[in-house]
Amino acid sequence: MDHIFELFLKNGLRPLSLLPEIVGLERAVNRSEIAVLLMLHFRGEMTMSELASELGAPLSTMTSLAQRLVRKGLIARRQSDKDQRIILVELSEKGLQLVSQVRSTIEGAFARVQASLSDEELKQFLSLAIKIGKAIQGQEVGETPIAQPSKVRNIPIVD
């Protein structure tokens, strides 16, 4: 199940637009915002740079998304205790509730798929979905995902 969530996150959640339940959620948050919320749910507190890297978005785009999510009360931003230049983001209580709703919607859709397939068909489906996801991400079949190094620049400060 988590592999499927990961594929959706890495590929812009486009398959979710097929779910009628998600259309109602998109009145409150768009797909990009849902991706941010789900990523924070899976990874916990992250730096803005890590979040941008994980979702394959420019830092400026991620900053705009984070600001919108803060205004909606779905995430909290704060400066790192170790380095005040680093901004950390995490889900707020309201964000956790929304992520729970999104996950339950997605899990409900997966349950409907699972109910309509035999055990063998389900194994084939999951195997093919992971294979397709890896192909979309440009990975070889059988290759484990390689974590992309964070592109954080150190800027020296001269007194």
Q: Which two tokens stand for residue 128?
A: 């093919």
Give the pLDDT mean for 113-123: 88
Tally the domains of the chain.
Answer: 1
Give the pLDDT of residue 23. 67
- Dist. CA 125–CA 131, nearest whole Å: 10
Q: Kindly state whether residue 143 falls inside one of the protein's structural domains.
A: no
Distance of CA 81 to the CA centre of its chain: 25
Over residues 3-31, mean pLDDT: 64
Q: Which domain holds residue 92?
A: 2-136
Do the domain assignments include residue 109?
A: yes
In a domain, 48, yes or no: yes
Q: Looking at the predicted structure, is the pLDDT value of residue 146 above 50?
A: no
Region 31-55: what's the mean pLDDT? 90
Q: What is the pTM of this model?
A: 0.67
Q: Give the CATH number for residue 12.
A: 1.10.10.10
> Does some domain include residue 144?
no
